[in-house]
Structure 1
Amino acid sequence: MGYPWNFGDLLDATAAQVPPDRPAIVQGDRVIAWPAFDQATNRLARAMIAAGLEPGARVAILARNVPEYIEISAASFKARMASVNVNYRYTTPEIAHLMSDSQAAMLLYQPEFAAVVAPLADSHPDLQLVAIDAGGRYGDWVSQGDGAPLGIARSGDDGYLIYTGGTTGKPKGVVWRAADARTTQLESPAASSVPQSLDDHIAAVRANTAPHRVLPACPLMHGAGMTSSLAELVNGGTVVLLPDGPFDAGVLLDTVQQHRVTRILIVGDVFARPMVEALQREPGRWDTSPLRIISSAGLMWSREMKQALVAAIPQVVLVDILGASEASGLGYAVTSATRETPTGWFEPGPRTVLIDPETLRVLGPDEPGTGWIARHGAVGSGYFGDPEKTAATYREIDGLRYAIPGDLAARDTDGRLRLIGRGSQVINTGGEKVFAEEVEEALKRAPGVTDAIVIGIPDETWGKAVVAVIAVREGYDEAAARLALQADLARYKLPKRIVVVDTLPRHPSGKSDYRAALDIVLGGAA
């Protein structure tokens, strides 16, 4: 076991060291200095405790990229409670499931989601619903009362939940201990130092007079967005948020220039391509000289886009992160002006291995071959309330506990890993995981649809696009079916294309033949 890191202790220690005029969070003209951030999160932590929440209680957050999202996460750590990410694209039934599955005690939500949240008052009467409103209960919580540190004993076992798409069925919450999460942060190639104790950490914060300013262009409700932002905050840095609204590469680059951003978090080519197009369309418009790192996780980041970014911003280092909600730091691909990695290839993390899918044998560190990507050491603790799924993903082999999220890779003779893909039917579209099974079941409930197979096809913008192959009865109307789907599914799960066939391809066992369905769509067999 490593040092028992706790993010509440780290935030307290950091706040005591940083200059009082240094911003903790910036969004447009709104600047929250470190003392104000520290006091607001201490007050919010006390308010949660006063509201009757016990240590370990789940606190769900339904919000876009706003400062309050970070405040709530930090306060949860300080109060020894477990934050829960909620996808702001979810419908009421999807949120209701997540509240039940996580056994959440409180849901804090932006007022724009009030209509989606309102039915939960009846379906989940014990769930405390709190609007993130400066003029309401939340505003009182963060502005009134004792803003000093709580002075409570915390533990490395304190943590949080990351809800993930998983492989089948509904989303599941991966439980992370703070000690394990911090350990994986310090394994990143972007980490400038690796403190061994809280005293080491304090000394490093004190000595760091020019910490990073990180801009998460990806949603904070994704694990990579919030945990990477948290990593900069505990180092005494600053989180810079984009203005609310659809992603605009020009606005991103304006923000980088205005606030002297040093690091950006993106999700593959979905973000990289428009950035490249903007930089090539107006070369020299933006001062990107402070920018040092662009990191990505969750979606393909092509070699071509990396090369174009380095050509436009020569001093930047690009860090492509291979990870999962169940286990971070599986691999890294670093690209710079003097170094590059082909698309889909990664250097394995220090505790990453390949496991033979048939025998569960761990391949030797230099042994070429194909297997499940796995890692031991600091990994997630399991899926909240689901011991069966936990046992399937987290396995003990030869005395070591491994996380096996489900991705296959091949190791070359030089030790690098080539990502092959996920062995189950999960579609990664724009950084979001979509379970084919969930969309299929929703389609089967839609009027006129008798059967469905859902696949992902390559897409230049989204990585994969959700496509449905369906069988229908007389009177089927696509507009009516799509209207029904919108009531059940978040918009990113909706099929970009629906292909109607006479009979769906199935194996003799009755299981869906996804390869044949893909051939139908790509070959136009319908």
Structure 2
Amino acid sequence: MRNNGIGSWTARRARMSPDRVAVVHGDETWTYRDLHERATRAAHALAGLGVSNGDRVAYLGPNEPAFLETLFGAGLVGAIFVPLNTRLAPPELAYILADSGTKVLVHAPTHASHADALRDGVPHVLDHETYERLLADASTDPLDEPVGQDDVAMIMYTSGTTGRPKGAALSHANIHWNSVNLLIDVDLAGDEVTLVNAPMFHVAALNQTVLPTVLKGGTVVLDAQFDPVRTLATIARHRVTYLFGVPAMFQAVANTSEWPTADLSSVRTMICGGAPVPEKVITTYQERGLVFLQGYGLTESSPGALFLRAEESHRVGSAGTPCFFTDVRVVDRDGNDAPTGEPGEVILHGPNVMTGYWGKPDATAAVLSKDGWLRTGDVAVVDEDGFLHIRDRIKDVIISGGENIYPAEVEDVLLQHPAVRDCAVIGVLDEKWGEVGRAIVVARETVAQEDLLAFLDGRIARYKIPKSVVFADTLPRTASGKLLKSALRTTYGENT
């Protein structure tokens, strides 16, 4: 094949295992033969609209087969796939479509009103009916468009929690090597049944679960929207063996009344990432005898950078060591390796690191050195055994009286209190200390501020203990489960 990109994966898998079930969605199933035929039809349909090598094709909708068909179909014609965050408003989506120069937008019925508002900015907008009609009329003849490993495969836009989102341009090689890293760290099998209920526009859901499963010829079970009770039912019904989630998702599942008696006997591996993983979340799953692994990465690294492997899972709280083909350092402000136990910025290098931000050379230069080292903006410490512990985002660190307070560390301990369902810690101005911590707590039951603060006393240094607690019904999060600290600072940051 001349196509060496991810668009060729359905063809390669279909010639190896055409009758294996590739995708399950609701009560329907698609074999690898079916998936490749649909992807081929999608490719011909896109080509018929004038899409060619390097053009951008976007998808807006929940986890469903059309997402994957569009992804692989675009790859077959050498186009660049742009998955869109379904929680964004039309003006935000319009910015991404314009920034990426998208030529075709495919959307699900659930997002018809959003798509209608975007028609003026995109040459071709395909609703579900039009998409299906085009596929029905399209050829199934093989395509073999030349696609190189260094060509851009997809543009994944960062969550944009501060300022405009930036598109991380990920090459076919980036995604290939990320998949290899994942398969070295997690022993996925050909009979894997992978539950995907985190949104596939999120880099971890797509690149850490779906694509490695396709490489191995396993089955991907798509769920359009995460629901903790349905998650447990789906695991039992489909005998799910592998799943990914962010900490908030795993917390929600463990908080259901069904959790104590749920049938989890089929599960081989759970991986968690996307945010610092509280110790309580890890131990809750380990107490059920589950292999609960965590990793660290970011959109710009496709995403895997660090992984805590099964034999190391007793090191609760560590994000692990570098993935096989990725190098990671923790450096001080001068770019020197930080001493053991001292915080520094995580930087990383490897074939999974993005080519740059789409159309933004200045933003790229700010984070990507000429020799390929990526600045993450995350703070970590390295322990005496070489394992990294992620502390927080540099911008979220609270500096109180000259001491650095890492909110994730405080949140981790707060979550161990039985009355705390969810929490976040932000900095607020203080005349004496410059800045002090404030905890925003979602409580399971009535609990006094004094009791929560007393609980922290003796568990963390006193300067780290928040000076105030406010209670909330929920905490704002992105679609990928990350806390929106900027929104919390806006709502609760006044020093009152």
CA shift at 1:18, angstroms? 0.6
> In the aligned structure 2, how far is the partner of 1:330 from the partner of 1:460?
31
Shift of 1:311: 2.2
Alpha carbons of structure 1 residues 456 and 255: separation in structure 2 relative to 1, 3 Å: farther
Q: CA deviation at 1:497?
A: 8.7
Q: Does structure 2 retain, via aligned residues, the 8 Å contact 1:260–1:291?
A: yes
The yes-or-no answer on 1:418 pairing with 2:393 is no
Which deviates more from structure 2 when the two are superposed, residues 418-427 or residues 46-55? Answer: 418-427
Aligned pairs, number: 415
Candidates 113, 116, 122, aligned match of 1:115: 113
Distance 1:81 1:282, change over 3 A: closer
Which consecutive aligned stretches of 4+ in structure 1 deviate over 6 angstroms post-superposition? 426-429
Q: Which whole-Å CA distance do the structure 2 matches of 1:495 and 1:339 have between them?
A: 33
TM-score, L = length of structure 2: 0.76
**Pick from 330, 333, 346: which aligns with 2:308?**
333
Residue 241 of structure 1 aligns with which residue? Answer: 222
* Aligned residue runs from structure 1 range 475-490, under 5 A: none
How far residue 339 of structure 1 moved from its aligned partner, in angstroms, is 3.8
1:299 to 275, 293, 318: 275
1:70 to 53, 64, 68: 68
Deviations 1:222-272 (A, max 9, x none): 111112212211221111012x45x3222111111111211011111x111
Q: Is the 8 A contact 1:334 1:341 kept in 2?
A: no
Distance 2:441 2:142 in 1: 49
Secondary structure of 1:255's counterpart equals helix
Counterpart position of 2:343: 370
2:176 pairs, out of 175, 178, 182, with 182
- For 2:174 and 2:489, how far apart are their aligned partners in 1? 41
The correspondence for 2:201, drawn from 221, 229, 239, is 221
Matches within 5 A, 1:12-31: 12-20=11-19, 22-31=20-29
Quote the Cα distance in structure 2 between the aligned partners of 1:496 and 1:409: 23
Q: Which letter does structure 2 place at the counterpart of 1:241?
A: L
User: 1: distance between equivalents of 2:125 and 2:160?
Assistant: 27
**How far is the alpha carbon of 1:416 from its aligned partner?**
1.2
What is the identity, as a one-letter code, of the residue corresponding to 1:229? V
| Residue of structure 2 in register with 1:212 after alignment | 192
1:356 aligns with 2:331: yes
Q: Distance in 1 between the 2:81 and 2:278 partners? A: 33
Any conservation in 1 of the 2:7–2:71 contact (CA below 8 Å)?
no
Match of 1:277 among 233, 251, 255: 255
Distance 2:200 2:438 in 1: 25
- 1:34 is aligned, of 32, 42, 63, to 32
Q: Secondary structure at the match of 2:114?
A: helix
Matching residue's letter, 1:222: H
Whole-angstrom distance in 2 between the partners of 1:83 and 1:321: 25
TM-score when normalising by structure 1: 0.72
CA distance in 1, matches of 2:275, 2:331: 24
Report how far residue 148 of structure 1 moved.
3.8
Structure 2 CA distance for aligned equivalents of residues 457 and 61 of structure 1:
38
* Aligned counterpart, 2:55: 57
Aligned-partner residue type, residue 264 of structure 1:
L
Report the alpha carbon displacement of residue 48 of structure 1 after superposing the two structures with TM. 0.7
Inter-partner Cα distance in structure 1 for 2:146 and 2:490: 55
Find the aligned partners of 1:460 and 1:5 in 2 and give their Cα distance: 49
- Once the two structures are superposed, what CA deviation does each residue of 1:323-358 show, in whole Å capped at 9, x if it has no partner? 01111322122457x842232543233433325342
- Residue equivalent to 1:162: 156
Identity level (%): 24
User: What's the C-alpha RMSD, in Å, of the aligned pairs?
Assistant: 3.1
Change (3 A) 1:282 1:216: closer
Please point out which of 229, 232, 245 is paired with 1:253. 232
2-structure distance, mates of 1:108, 1:354: 40
Residue 118 (structure 2) pairs with residue 145 (structure 1): no
C-alpha distance 258-184 of structure 1, shift in aligned 2 (>3 A): same
In the other structure, the counterpart of 2:295 is: 321
Superposition deviation, residue 10 in structure 1: 2.7
d(CA) in 2 for partners of 1:343 and 1:81? 40
Q: Does 1:173 align with 2:167?
A: yes
Deviation at 1:276, TM superposition (A): 2.0
Gaps of 5+ in 2: 398-406, 412-425, 427-436, 444-482
Give me the whole-angstrom Cα distance separating, in 2, the residues matched to 1:266 and 1:410: 24
CA distance in structure 1 between the partners assigned to 2:34 and 2:363 by the alignment = 42
The structural deviation recorded for 1:217 is 2.1
What's 1:474 paired with? none
Q: Choose from 123, 130, 140 the match for 1:127.
A: 123
TM-aligned CA deviation for residue 145 of structure 1: 2.9
Q: Give the letter for the 2:328 counterpart.
A: V
Once the two structures are overlaid, the 10-residue window that deviates more, 38-47 or 249-258, is: 249-258
8 Å CA contact 2:199, 2:205 repeated in 1:
yes
Deviation of residue 359 (structure 1)?
1.7
2:198 aligned partner, one-letter code? C
Q: Distance in 2 between matches of 1:224 and 1:258?
A: 24
Shift of 1:425: 5.5
Q: How far 1:37 sits from its partner (Å)?
A: 1.0
Query: Does the Cα contact within 8 Å between 1:41 and 1:72 map onto a contact in 2?
Result: yes
Closer/same/farther in 2, CA of residues 394 and 499 from structure 1, 3 Å limit: closer
**Other structure's SS at 1:330 match:** strand
Q: Deviations over 1:46-95 (max 9, x none)?
A: 11111101211111111111121111111111121111121111111101
Shift of 1:141: 2.6
3-state SS of the aligned residue for 1:116? Answer: helix
Residue 172 of structure 2 aligns with an amino acid whose one-letter code is: A
Identify the range of structure 1 (290-299 vs 144-153) with the bigger mean alpha-carbon deviation: 144-153
SS of the residue corresponding to residue 105 of structure 1 reads strand
Partner of 2:287: 311
Q: Is the 8 A contact 1:167 1:425 kept in 2?
A: no
CA deviation vs aligned residue, 1:156-212 (integer Å, no higher than 9, x gap)? 12311110036742001000111122112211244448xxxxxxxxxxxxxx6x431
- Describe the shift of the 1:499–1:302 C-alpha distance in structure 2 as closer, same or farther (beyond 3 A): closer
Alignment of structure 1 residues 343-492 onto 2, 5 Å: 343-350=317-324, 351-361=326-336, 363=337, 369-378=342-351, 379-396=353-370, 400-424=371-395
Q: Which residue in the other structure is 2:467 paired with?
A: none
Cα shift at 1:410: 1.3
Counterparts of 2:275 and 2:167, CA distance in 1: 20
Asked whether the 8 Å contact 1:407–1:421 carries over to 2, the reply is yes
2: CA distance, partners of 1:63 / 1:456: 37
The verdict on how the C-alpha distance between 1:45 and 1:348 changes in structure 2, with shifts beyond 3 A counting, is: same
Distance 1:417 1:317 in 2: 20
Distance between the aligned counterparts of 1:42 and 1:55, measured in 2? 15
Q: Are the equivalent residues in 2 in contact too, given 1:7–1:178 (CA < 8 A)?
A: yes
Distance change in 2, residues 1:79/1:276 (3 Å):
same
2: CA distance, partners of 1:292 / 1:24: 19
Cα distance change, pair 412–117 in 1 and its aligned pair in 2 (3 A): same
Residues 386 and 457 of structure 1: is their aligned pair in 2 closer, same or farther, counting only changes over 3 Å? farther
Amino acid at match of 2:265: S
Structure 1 segment 508-519 matched on structure 2, within 5 A: 517=493
User: Alpha-carbon deviation of 1:42?
Assistant: 0.4
